Amino acid sequence: MADPSLASDPSRPHRVDAGAERFIDLMRGVAALAVMMTHIIDLVITDFYGWTFAENPPGWRWLRAIGGTGENWVWLFFLISGFCIQLSLRRDLESGRPRWWRYAVARVTRIYPIYLLTLALALAVWKWVPNIPGVTDAWPGRQLAASLLSLQIFTGPVPVMEVSWSLSCEMLYYGMWPVLLVLCGLRVRAAAWLGILGSLAVAGGLYLAWTRWGILRERAFADGLWTVSILCGLWLAGVLLAEHWHRVIPWVGKMAWWLGWGIFATGSALLFVGRFESTPPWELHLTAWVALPGMVLMLAGARHAGLGAAGLRMQAVCRWLGVISYPCYLLHFPLLLLVRHGVLPRLPSGLRETEAGQALVYVLAMGLMLVALAAPLETAVMGWRRRLLRRLD
C-alpha cells in the first residue's frame, strides 16, 4: 500500500488535489478496518458454529458470507496501490531517467519493516495458541522461506498470516511494473496494456489447463499464479487512472460517482453469493472484474466526497485512517487470536459465551491496538523511511 505524493495543481501531473488525497487515505483506512471486522465476524461465528462453512446454520452462513468476507476491500487496495505508485514514478518517467534503485528501496522499505514484525508475531502466535482452525502443527519452513521473499502466494502463507497473500501480489506487481516499462520504452499506456493482456493470457491458459486438460488442479503454485494474474488488472487500472487523471476527472460527475459505488456493491454481492454457495476461490476472484469499473469511478470522482473543503477535524480523521491502514491490515489477525486464546477465557461468561459479547471484546481490543500500537508504529517506520529516502535523492 503505497503513499501518494499529493497537491492541487493540474500542471504537475505527478500530483493530485488535497481532496483526493484525503479520500484515498479515508478509503485505505476504511478498507483495512473492514477487513479487520470481517475477521472478527468470522472468528465469532466459527467459535460458536464451527469452522466448516457448509455446516453453519443458514442465517449465520449468510452473515459469514457477507460480513466475514473481505476480498472486495482488498480489491480497493490494489487499485489505489497502482494509482499511487504511478504518481510517485511520473516525474522520473517524464525525465527519461527513472531511478530504479530508489524505486526498489522505496518499495522494500514500505512493505518489509512492519511485515517482518508481523511475520515474527504470527509465528509466535502459531507456536503458543493451540488448535487454530485450518492450521497444522507442522513447521512451515517452505512457507516461511517463500514469505521472506514475498512469494507466499505460490506456496500458501505462514500460519496466522493469511492476509499476507495480498502483500505477495503487491510485491510482484512492484517488480513487474519496471520490467513492463523498460520493455515498452517507458511508455506507460503501452506497458499497462501489455501487462493487462499478458496477465489475462496467463489466466486463460490456466483456465484451459483446469477445465479442458484436467491438469494443475489444487496446486498452490497454479492457484497463486491465477490470483496474481486475475487481480493484476486492478493494479494496472490504477496505473492507467493515474496516467490520465486530469483528463478523466472532469468527466466523472456526481451521478457517475454514485454509479461507481453501485457497481462496486454489485461485484461485492456476487462475491458474497459465491462464498455462500462455496464457489471455488479461483472463480470468486473473477467478481473483482465486475467491481473494477465501479472502483475506478469511485476514485476518479473523489472530489464529490467533499473532502477538499473538509474541516480540520475531518482532515485529521482522514490522515489517521491513512496512517493506521497498513499496520491494521497486517497486525490485526495474530492479535485477534491472542485475544481469543489469552483474554476471552478470563472474562465473565456473559461476554465470552455470547456472540455479541465476543464481538464487543474483539472490537475493543482492536481499537486499543490501533491507538496504542498501529499508529505509533507506522509513524515511526515512515519517519525512518523518509530520512532514508532523502539520502538517496
Domain that holds residue 186: 18-392
Angle at 147 between CA 141 and CA 150, to 5 degrees: 150
Domain-embedded: residue 214: yes
The single-letter code of the amino acid at 385 is: R
**Sign of the CA dihedral 3, 152, 232, 194?**
positive
pLDDT over 80 (residue 131) = no
b/e per residue, 274-293, with b = 16+ CB within 10 A? bbbeeeeebebbbbbbbbbe
Is 7 a domain residue?
no
Give the count of domains, the chain.
1
Top pLDDT among 14 and 2 is at: 14
The Cβ of residue 253 has, within 10 Å, a number of other Cβ atoms equal to 12
Looking at per-residue confidence, does 299 or 392 come out higher?
Answer: 299
φ and ψ of 129, to 5 deg: -90, 120
What does each C-alpha distance from 342 to 124, 163, 330 come to in angstroms?
13, 22, 20
138 falls in which pLDDT band (50, 70, 90)?
Answer: confident
Q: How many CB atoms lie within 10 A of CB 31?
A: 23
pLDDT tens digits for 305-356? 999 999 999 999 999 999 999 999 999 999 999 999 999 999 999 889 999 9
Q: Pull the grid cell for residue 173.
A: 506487481
Q: Does residue 49 lie within any of the structural domains?
A: yes
Predicted pLDDT at 14: 56
Structural domain includes residue 5: no
SS3 per-residue string spanning 354-372:
CHHHHHHHHHHHHHHHHHH
**Across 108-112, 134-138, 235-239, 333-337, least confident range:** 134-138
Residue 11 pLDDT > 60:
no
Name the pLDDT band for 12 (thresholds 50, 70, 90): very low
Burial of 386 (0-12, 13-18, 19+ CB in 10 A): exposed
pLDDT band at 10 (very low <50, low <70, confident <90, very high): very low
120: left (phi over 0), alpha (psi -120 to 50) or beta: alpha
Q: What is the mean pLDDT of residues 79-89?
A: 96
8 A C-beta contact, residue 285 and residue 78: no
Residue 242 has pLDDT above 90, yes or no: yes
Q: What is the DSSP string of 105-127?
A: HHHHHHHHHHHHHHHHHHHHHHH
Is residue 9 domain-resident?
no
Q: Is position 125 within any domain?
A: yes
Residue 2 is assigned to a structural domain of this protein = no
Does 283 reside within a domain? Answer: yes
Q: Mean pLDDT, the chain, as a whole number?
A: 93
pLDDT at 92: 86
Of 383 and 349, which is predicted with more confidence? 383
Vertex 5, ends 310 and 293: CA angle to 5°?
75
